[in-house]
A and B are shown apart, each in its own frame.
Chain A
Amino acid sequence: MMGFLVSVVSALFFPGIILRVKSIASGRKGPGILQPWKNIAVLLRKASVFSPVTGIIFRIAPAVYLATILCSMLLLPFPGMGSFLGFEGDFVLFAYLLALGKFLFILGALDTGSSFEGMGANREALYSMLAEPAFFILFGTLALLTGHTSMQDIFSSFRFAGDSSFIIGAIAVYLLIQIAMIENSRMPVDDPKTHLELTMIHEVMILDHSGFDLALIHIGTTLKFCLYGMLIACFVVPPSLTMSFGGGAVNPVLMRFLQVGICLGIQGVFAAMIGLLESFRARKKMVRNPQFIATLSSIALVAFFLALLLTFNLMAP
């Protein structure tokens, strides 16, 4: 449950940090940290406009989208603690819940009958299909290395799986960052600031959403970032912190607070990094995207081979 709470708390400042970093990088002062949430609050009170072409799926898609993200957040572990829903094979449910949200989100875009939204939906479907294997290979690697198949067990025993596990950890963090960027339709696959409908992916899919529904989508997208940030934090933060101060061990409750603090810090760094990446990186050409995303799977496979070498001692003479 702790993973869920920490992610929700970090979602409060996450989009604000991205925005602020991007502003500073482009030479502006930028809005306050909480401005994105203020915008969402305004949207929540606004009226909605629906196209007469749309049906019920368009109306429920944003709610399902947010619900799937909230439910998959319940599967998030916290370093040294279990998750609310964890079980053996929970990352499969995690991935498929997110896929369900995306499935209805895509259908919501197609419901409008707009060719632009169809185009965006098509790209979203294609890219997330290509990104799926990378996530599964990554967790296959971790399962191989640790011998566990639930996220909480994987993360609690990951660090003790061998001296070289930090290499795999580094690859995993890199992959998670890239997957998070793709899943949230950010650079280098998609540019949220683009101005032309033809070149949009995520933004064009939500063109027809307004008011409350648009707010739901914005909340969902923010939470999705924090979801991946929390997974990254699980790689970095040790499951149990011990510290001695003046001869006696520090109160374990205090250490828990320290862990929470580090996790929040990592989320902040993650957000700042996204801001920097988006400021200094150009978007790839649309036709190059599939190749780029497929590369992630190959990188994940490299990690898997490394784990294979370590686990089965294939290098031993």
Chain B
Amino acid sequence: MDPILFSAPALLSLFILVAPSRIRYGYTVFITLLAIGVTSIPAILVFADPALQPEVITIGGFAGTLSFTIDSLSAFFILVTNFTAFTGLIYARGYLASYRSTKSSAVFALHYFSYCWLHLSMLGVLMLRDGMAFLIAWELMAVSSFLLILFEAEKRTTLKTAVNYLVQMHVGLALLVAGFLIAEDGTGVFGFDSLPAWFSHHSNLLLFLLFFAGFAIKAGFIPFHTWLPHAHPAAPSHVSGVMSGVMIKMGIFGIIRVLICVQSDLLTIGWVLLGISALSGLLGVMMAIVQHDLKKLLAYHSIENIGIIGMGLGLGAMGLGMHNPVLALLGFAGGLLHVLNHSLFKSLLFFSAGSVYRACHTLDIEKLGGLNRRMPHTAGLFLVGSMAICGLPPLNGFISEVLIYTGLFKGLNAGSAYQALTFILAVISLALIGGLAIFCFTKAFGVVFQGVARTDAVSAAKEATPGMLLPQYLAAGLMLAIGLLPMLFLEPILRLVSFLFHLDPGPELPVIAHTLSRISLAGFLLLLVTGVILLVRRAVSGPGKVMEGPTWGCGYTAGTPRHQYTASSWAAGFGELARPVLGGKTEYEQIGEEEIFPRRRSFAFHPADVFHDALDRITAFSMTVLKRIARLQTGYIQHYILYAFVFILFIFILLFLKIL
């Protein structure tokens, strides 16, 4: 690839800031397509044949050279990133249309510029190997997404959320810098290339955990997730889709990048990964159930899905540690496929949620209802996304989950009794996650799209524009394709995994191929049988055989839309069960015994996040400590000179006593 062409998107993107508003959107699309083109072409070549030499593009500049390496792992993530960045941009036009009257042109310019740079910095993260360049790209990614969240900065919560996000990202950055510095010590290289040499001489676990913590803040593993459920809902929907769909996957990419280099302690690492991931998955979905803000609910589901991906990686790492290529293959392939799957269905769900917000101006589930008649396309797409995220066949989510399940079941008698116990606990977690996800999405879809409109906000809702629906249909089509023809997508991923971790899939490949061909057969059979039943019904139910009548009201037919089952009542039974884990506060005054005619009263449930509260407590504590120390900042120059004098005196005494 020509270096000039390769660096063109970055240079040309500057003109977005000054472009006339008439052509700004078109120009952004052009830059994005250019970036997609120059990265996707080498990525496809490398992805098709992982054994191929990685593509290296070197750009010389005034401050040295930058080299971009596209190896098979980056190639996979580049393709995933490019797709969602593209669909997000298409969706953005329709979504932002209503803001055109209220926001200035400069805000739009900055927004599109940041969007472009979020995409470019993610590509940079995927391609840069040198530590400094990687960290700069990582930082650019945080800053550009920070600016994107700030689109509605006039809302007080948005500002607070965005700053919280920025601070947490820098904690992660600090951990990564520390990791790279430790690895530089002894190898002399600052960057990913130092890791294999470092890991071959030192204990692996601690440095891996340091990197893991740094990347996990981005990925949103529990307990590093506290920024995520606030940042995703605050951002505009196309940004939430890109952030949740691909940006948090950069954390997963980093974890895999480090995991490739790890040489010992793999069993422990796998165990830790599996444990934290199962916890993230379970708590993520449990907290999602009690949310009543549609986008916040989806954000918690991102944590759940990161957990599923992590379980795949943990299973893979344990497989490596147990020298069992089958487990490693199934685990890593399931995890990587779930990266792709989640990027598709989560962006789709955020886009549909955005369409709902644009149409009804609220995301409070309790105020919605009956949208399937007003917005049939959005409803259908949201349904497909819900089914996929619950891991139901014949959609893509099932494929990645079945791989992880099969790996876990095969692992049961592949090692020791303790490993079997670990695996069965993972199976239980995965089964519970699946069941809870169904519980959550029947609530989300049922309350938002079905029944009757609960408030007037809904009755005026209009279907999203074709430009907003197109990206969702693209994602849904791809999801169905993965679900029905899984081998087409999984074969290159299996090749990639066996190349990355030097595995010999050997006799296992035909078994996996057989499994997947049977699943796809079952998927087609399911569609066929459903179709036949529906055709028979159509043939049988001739004219006069279909009548209309009111919903059965059990003797009371004067109900209002507010009598419908609500999201609160849907979650109440579960919330009661999960209260010891989740907490949460109910605001309701019980009806007293002598209260013959009950007063008007209200009911409110406030879901809690114990980790968020813990973090708040830590920050509050450090604030009080720091405030005390701040008394030293008097503002008088004499005092500062005194501090310097005391410090020098201190050093002098230490030297005198021969301590230093």
Q: Chain A: residues with CB nearer than 8 A to chain B?
A: 44-57, 60, 63-64, 66-68, 70-71, 74-75, 85-90, 92-93, 95-97, 99-100, 102-103, 106-107, 110-119, 121-123, 125-126, 128-130, 132-133, 135-137, 139-140, 143-144, 147, 149, 197, 207-208, 211-213, 216, 290, 297, 304, 308, 311-312, 314
Contact = CB atoms under 8 A, between A and B. Distances in A.
B530 A96 contact: no
The residue in A60, A95, A96, A144 that gathers the most chain B C-beta atoms within 10 A of its C-beta is A96
A71 B452 contact: no
A311 to B, nearest CB: 6
A297 B429 CA distance: 12
Contacts, number: 250
A107 B450 contact: yes
B11 interface: no
Interface in B265-299: none
B534 A63 contact: yes
The residue in A95, A129, A314 that gathers the most chain B C-beta atoms within 10 A of its C-beta is A129
Given A63-B533, A129-B432, A216-B533, A143 B413 contact: yes
A211 B428 contact: no
B431 interface: yes
B526 A67 contact: yes
A103 B431 contact: no
A290 B350 CA distance: 32
The prevalent SS among residues of B at the interface is helix
B370 A113 contact: yes
Nearest to B544: A47
A314 B405 CA distance: 26
Contacts of A312: 416-417, 420
A288 B398 CA distance: 32
Given A96-B393, A103-B387, A308 B431 contact: no
A285 to B, nearest CB: 13
Given A89-B409, A115-B564, A119-B565, A68 B428 contact: no
Given A139-B409, A304-B424, A47 B547 contact: yes
A66 B409 contact: no
B442 A121 contact: yes
A74 B115 CA distance: 49
Contacts of B545: 46-48, 211
Contact of A130 (B427, B435, B564): B435
B393 A100 contact: yes
B324 interface: no
Given A64-B530, A143-B409, A312-B416, A115 B439 contact: no
B452 A113 contact: yes
7 contacts: A74-B525, A103-B392, A115-B563, A139-B409, A140-B427, A212-B537, A297-B428
A190 B439 CA distance: 19
B278 to A, nearest CB: 13
B577 interface: yes
A125 B424 contact: no
Contacts of A92: 401-402, 405-406
Contact of B547 (A48, A126, A137, A139): A48
A47 B445 CA distance: 29
A56 B450 CA distance: 10
The prevalent SS among residues of A at the interface is helix
Contacts of A70: 529
A55 B372 contact: yes
Contacts of A52: 548, 550
A60 B434 contact: no
Contacts of B67: none
A129 B438 contact: yes
Contacts of A136: 427-428, 430-431
Contacts of A96: 391-393, 398, 401-402, 434
A93 B522 contact: yes
B438 A116 contact: no
A103 B577 contact: no
A206 to B, nearest CB: 10
A64 B383 CA distance: 14
Given A67-B530, A113-B451, A49 B554 contact: no
B559 interface: yes
Interface stretch (B232-240, B511-519, B603-611): B511-519
A66 B529 CA distance: 9
Contacts of B370: 53, 113
A138 to B, nearest CB: 11
A304 B409 CA distance: 13
A92 B573 CA distance: 27
Contacts of A290: 573, 577
A63 B530 contact: yes
Contacts of B447: 110
Given A103-B387, A118-B446, A308-B417, A113 B564 contact: yes
B104 interface: no
A122 B420 contact: no
Contact of B431 (A53, A68, A133): A133
Nearest to B551: A51
Given A100-B392, A129-B438, A53 B428 contact: no
Contact of A89 (B420, B421, B452, B515): B515
A85 B521 contact: yes
Contact of B526 (A49, A97, A123, A132): A97
Contact of A122 (B402, B417, B552, B573): B573
Contacts of A117: 565
Contacts of A97: 393, 522, 526
A121 B552 CA distance: 15
Given A133-B428, A304-B424, 11 more contacts: A60-B530, A67-B526, A92-B406, A100-B387, A107-B445, A118-B570, A123-B573, A126-B573, A132-B435, A133-B431, A140-B423
Contacts of B398: 93, 96
A113 B561 contact: yes
Given A74-B522, A89-B405, A122-B569, A50 B435 contact: no
B647 interface: no
A103 B435 CA distance: 10
B30 interface: no
B147 interface: no
A90 B447 CA distance: 33
Given A63-B530, A115-B565, A110 B442 contact: yes
